[in-house]
Amino acid sequence: MDGSSVSSGVSFAVGFGHWLQNRPFALSIAGSDWAYPFVQATHFTGLSLFVGTNIAVDLSLIGKGKKSSAPLQLSDMLFVWNWIGFAMAVTGGFLLFSVSAQTYLTNMAFLTKLGLLIPLALVLHIVVQRKAPEWEKASETPSAAKIAGFAELLLWLCVATAAVLIPYVG
C-alpha cells in the first residue's frame, strides 16, 4: 500500500465524518442541552450492563467471585442482559460518535478502541459464550477457560483505557 492510498483513505474517512456529523440527527444531539447527556447516559448504561455481565462470567471462569452458580449457568442467566447492554452501548456510542465523527476518525485512541480492541474483545466474548457448555462438562474448569476469562478481562480493561484516553490523544 503506497502513501497515496493511505492518504485517500484518510481523506475519505474524514469526508465521511464531516458528512455524518452534519446529518440532522447529529446536529440535533449536538445542539440540545439534554439530548447529548441522555445519549451519553444510554451509552454508559449499556456499557455497564454489557461489560458488567462479561466481568461476572469471566471472574467465574477464573475461579473468583461468588461460587453459587457455575460459569455456564451464570452466562445463561445473564445472556439477555448482556446483549441488551451491547445494543444500548452500540446505539449510544454511534450517536455520540456522530456528533464529532470527523474528530474521532483522526483520534488514535478512538481508532485503537474501535478498530482493534473492541473487535478482539467481542470475538473472545462470543467464543467464551459458545465454549461455556463444553467447559461446564469438565470436572474442573479447563485452563483454556481460565485463560479466555482472564484475556477477556484484560481486553475490556484495555478498551476502557483507550476510551479514557480519547479526549487526551490527537
For the segment 6-50, what is each residue's pLDDT rounded down to a tens digit? 566 678 888 999 999 999 999 999 999 999 999 999 999 999 999
Predicted local distance difference test score (pLDDT) of residue 163: 92
Query: What is d(CA 13, CA 19) in angstroms, rounded to the nearest whole number?
Result: 10
Look at residue 1 and tell me whether its pLDDT is greater than 80.
no
Q: What do you get for the CA distance between the two ends of the chain, in Å?
A: 24
Provide the pLDDT for residue 166. 93
Helix (H, G, I), strand (E, B) or coil at 68: coil
In whole angstroms, give the CA distance from residue 92 to residue 164.
Answer: 16
Query: What is the span of the domain harbouring residue 106?
Result: 3-168
**What domain count does the chain have?**
1
CA distance 69 to 128: 16
CA distance 145 to 134: 10
Measured CA distances, 6 to 10, 81, 108, 131 (Å)? 6, 40, 15, 39
User: Angle 24-31/71-99 helices, nearest 10 degrees?
Assistant: 90
pLDDT of amino acid 72: 79
How many Å separate Cα 26 from the centre of its chain?
21
Q: Is the pLDDT higher at 25 or at 127?
A: 25
- Return the sign of the alpha-carbon dihedral for residues 4, 5, 11, 14: negative
pLDDT tens, residue by residue, 77-103: 999 999 999 999 999 999 999 999 999
